[in-house]
């Protein structure tokens, strides 16, 4: 795909099947950077993705040509900025399966989306003796709010265990999701194991018991087609920055009748209908949840990211990642003793691949790879309880995206072999 120097999205007719990774790479200016005198091999997209030229240009274009505060002003720029901001909302609504745009709330990210639900819906609907169900593979963002809320409300936090292969173990699910369950909050794709969870089935089981379902889509939305209506999620949350978009922007999808039943989160301008000294009424959704001036420029630029992904096609992105994940797992398996976490079948997982070496600490792996220009992540990946279950203090994690190819995986493997020689392992 050619690099766009203007603010338009890549043209559909320039996209070939399968993905033309060389052309995609050319759209990402940062991939031309040298790191420690090496070509940058970016394998940390599960932490945050890189941004194509179109997204970077959309941010500056906003400030050059559209900047004004939204929803308030009755002047040319205010209307232009508002239209651009609302266009992103419409694009998001389409991206997640064609929902009503008023069901799309902009947040700062996945973390804020989950906290919003914890402080509003959950605060009002979870009481003493109720149960919240999560899984053993949750990111802290979908764990800490529920630990704290459960303690505060004297509710119980139940968890769906994982199997030794890194799948959810649903064999005792009827004992875990029961009539006491008020909320089932699960990750769509694990940021450590890569596992893609059967969220449709979990939603069906949860709804049978009258529970509300929250899906953490931070790792799934960037990599696969998401249809929140088909999965029947009550809430679905994700972050722009992991899917080519700017930082500081997230999405909370919520079914309209649930959003309408919820009290507001932050209070202030824009989220009100009428304010008196003794009484306030709320704006309609989604504005009720968007108090104050949002991150307008970055929401506007998120639209360019969605365009980019949609023009490539989420199904083709998924196909590319299945093939590359298969290749990466095969090549990593050539390294004797290297332990790969999560499902080994690429069709059942995403491209976040955690691994450990029997003798070299993940931080040393990451530090060594960095000297070769290779960026991976090492640590507990904000999933300490999962790490304990895996019996690890940390793992190294290489995560793949649309701009990665077999040459990137080969660079990783060669550097790991070199690392073992260096450490005498
Ligand atoms: N959930 C999962 C599964 C994640 O991987 C992440 C980001 N690592 C988050 C939630 C939190 O996302 P953010 O930091 O964008 O709020």
The pLDDT tens digits of the residues spanning 40-69 come to 999 999 999 999 999 999 999 999 999 999
Tell which residue, 57, 68, 41, has the closest CA to residue 293: 68
Q: Which fold has domain 66-310?
A: 3.40.640
Joined tokens for residue 286: 């989604």
The predicted-structure confidence for 355-387, as pLDDT tens digits, reads as follows 999 999 999 999 999 999 999 999 999 999 999
Element (H, E) at 159: strand 156-160
5 — pLDDT class (breaks 50, 70, 90): very low
22 by Cβ neighbours in 10 Å (0-12 / 13-18 / 19+) ranks as exposed
- Nearest 5°: phi and psi at 333? -70, -15
- Residue from 117, 191, 342 to probe ligand 1 pocket by mutation (most atoms less than 8 Å from CB): 191
User: How far does residue 111's CA lie from ligand 1's centre (Å)?
Assistant: 6
Atom of ligand 1 nearest to the CA of 241: 15
Residue keyed to tokens 């009720």: 288
Which pLDDT score, from 0 to 100, does residue 414 have?
98
Atom of ligand 1 nearest to the CA of 216: 1
Q: Check pLDDT > 80 for residue 7.
A: no
The predicted-structure confidence for 186-237, as pLDDT tens digits, reads as follows 999 999 999 999 999 999 999 999 999 999 999 999 999 999 999 999 999 9
Residues 397-415 have a mean pLDDT of 98
CB 274 within 8 A of CB 256: no
Q: Which fold has domain 21-51+313-423?
A: 3.90.1150
The model's pTM:
0.95
Domain locations along the chain: 21-51+313-423, 66-310
312 — pLDDT class (breaks 50, 70, 90): very high
- Residue from 197, 238, 239 to probe ligand 1 pocket by mutation (most atoms less than 8 Å from CB): 239
With a Cβ cut-off of 6 Å, ligand 1 is lined by 109-111, 139, 141-142, 187, 191, 216, 218-219, 239, 382
Nearest alpha carbon, ligand 1 atom 6: 218
User: How far does residue 249's CA lie from ligand 1's centre (Å)?
Assistant: 12
Tell which residue, 59, 15, 110, has the closest CA to residue 245: 59
Which pLDDT score, from 0 to 100, does residue 17 have?
76
66-310 shares the fold of 21-51+313-423: no
Q: Check pLDDT > 70 for residue 11.
A: no
Nearest alpha carbon, ligand 1 atom 8: 47
Active-site positions read 382
Longest Cα–Cα distance of the chain, Å, equals 73
């Amino acid at each position: 795909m050619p690099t766009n120097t203007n603010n338009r999205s890549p043209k559909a007719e320039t996209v070939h099947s399968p993905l033309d990774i060389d052309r995609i790479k050319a759209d990402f200016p940062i991939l031309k950077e040298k790191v420690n005198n090496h070509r940058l091999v970016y394998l940390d997209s599960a932490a945050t993705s890189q941004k194509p030229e179109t997204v970077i240009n959309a941010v500056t274009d906003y400030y050059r040509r559209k900047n004004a505060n939204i929803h308030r002003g009755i002047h040319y720029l205010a209307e232009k900025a508002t239209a651009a901001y609302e266009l992103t909302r419409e694009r998001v609504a389409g991206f997640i399966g064609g929902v009503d745009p008023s069901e799309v709330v902009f947040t700062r990210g996945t973390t804020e989306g989950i906290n919003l639900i914890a402080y509003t819906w959950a605060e009002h609907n979870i009481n003493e003796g109720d149960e919240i169900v999560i899984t053993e593979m949750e990111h802290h963002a979908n764990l800490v709010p529920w630990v704290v809320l459960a303690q505060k409300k004297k509710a119980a936090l139940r968890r769906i265990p994982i199997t030794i292969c890194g799948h959810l173990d649903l064999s005792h699910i009827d004992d875990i999701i029961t009539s006491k369950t008020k909320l089932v909050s699960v990750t769509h794709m694990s940021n450590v194991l890569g596992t893609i969870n059967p969220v449709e089935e979990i939603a069906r089981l949860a709804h049978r018991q009258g529970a509300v379902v929250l899906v953490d889509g931070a790792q799934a939305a960037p990599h696969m087609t998401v249809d929140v209506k088909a999965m029947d999620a009550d809430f679905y949350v994700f972050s722009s920055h992991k899917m080519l978009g700017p930082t500081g922007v997230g999405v909370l999808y919520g079914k309209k009748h649930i959003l309408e039943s919820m009290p507001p989160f932050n209070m202030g301008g824009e989220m009100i209908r009428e304010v008196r000294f003794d009484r306030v009424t709320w704006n309609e959704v989604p504005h009720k949840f968007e108090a104050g001036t949002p991150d307008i420029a970055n929401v506007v630029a998120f639209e360019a990211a969605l365009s980019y992904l949609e023009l490539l096609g989420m199904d083709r992105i998924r196909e590319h990642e299945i093939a590359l994940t298969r290749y990466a797992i095969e090549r990593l398996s050539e390294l004797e003793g290297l332990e790969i976490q999560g499902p080994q079948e690429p069709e059942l997982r995403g491209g976040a691949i955690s691994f450990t070496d029997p003798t070299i600490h993940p931080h040393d792996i990451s530090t060594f790879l960095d000297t070769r220009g290779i960026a991976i992540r090492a640590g507990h990946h904000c999933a300490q309880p999962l790490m304990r279950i895996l019996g690890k203090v940390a793992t190294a994690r290489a995560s793949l995206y649309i701009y990665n190819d077999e040459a990137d995986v080969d660079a990783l493997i060669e550097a790991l072999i070199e690392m073992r020689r260096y450490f005498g392992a």
